[in-house]
Amino acid sequence: MNEYLLANQALWDEWTSIHERSEFYDLEGWKAGRRKLPRFVVEEVGDVAGKDLLHLQCHFGMDTLSWARLGARVTGVDFSKRAIALARSLAAEMGLHARFVQADVLGLDEVLDGDFEVVFTSFGVLWWLPDLARWAQVMARFVRPGGMVYVSDFHPVAQAMDDVDADAPVPRYDYFPSPEPAAFPVEGSYADPDARVEQEVEYGWAHSMGEIVTVLAQAGLRIEFLHEFPFTMFRAMPYLRRSDDDARTWRLPEPYDGKLPLLFSLKATKPSARGR
């Protein structure tokens, strides 16, 4: 990995310890069955019972193991050594069968064999990837013919919004992709802004919606749907407000509510040998 990815890896190693004890992740609540996968994600992915599911950029495995609770045979992948160690300990503690692999997702085909009926990734993942075409090739490599790729993440429009100084949605960051990363000083974690973190800088790459759809199509996958939502899964900007009908989601304030996308989901399939 290059210097940017190594710095991000060190950051996520630190964040894992912070997130494990954070109210944001509510690990004890998850152990008790209170924190579940978002309803729309479960509905869009569909029944996973008895299916092989690969979860890319799984962090410390809470969502991976939530899929295991729903009956999937799961494999989680993350580049953080601490995150994978915690994921394995959680699986053992909860008595859930799961495999966890420490690897950079862009080089996963060098360390993992096999294929899967579902390849899944969600919420804050694409920002950390410098090469989205390579990412799409990995997705296509590991999804079984006839299987699905499912992505849900923060919308590129929302990623371009000012998250510091503005009190309304205005653009501040790049929407269109660039080979060079954006660099931001680290101030705690999204789960605990006051936490002490040694890693000083995080690096990320903007990806437009056009790029996301195009690289998946060029990798041989067929886009089944692209959904855009006026809510997101955490308070990424200080001016967001909690949704009236869902305490776990956040929306833009009036008069902007419902007028800009904050989250998207995408399903793509790999044609079978007969092209179906």
Q: What is the pLDDT along the chain (276 residues), one digit of tens a residue?
A: 589 999 999 999 999 999 999 999 999 999 999 878 999 999 999 999 999 999 999 999 999 999 999 999 999 999 999 999 999 999 999 999 999 999 999 999 999 999 999 999 999 999 999 999 999 999 999 999 999 999 999 999 999 998 888 788 899 999 999 999 999 999 999 999 999 999 999 999 999 999 999 999 999 999 999 999 999 998 888 899 999 887 789 999 999 999 999 999 999 999 986 644
| Location of structure tokens 């029944």 | 47
Indicate the burial class of 149 (C-beta count within 10 angstroms; 0-12, 13-18, 19 or more).
buried
- pTM of the predicted structure, to 2 decimals: 0.95
Rounded CA-CA distance 184/5 in Å is: 14
- Edge to edge, the sheet with strand 52-56 lists 98-102, 73-78, 52-56, 116-122, 143-154, 263-269, 222-229
Q: Which CATH superfamily is domain 3-269 in?
A: Vaccinia Virus protein VP39 (3.40.50.150)
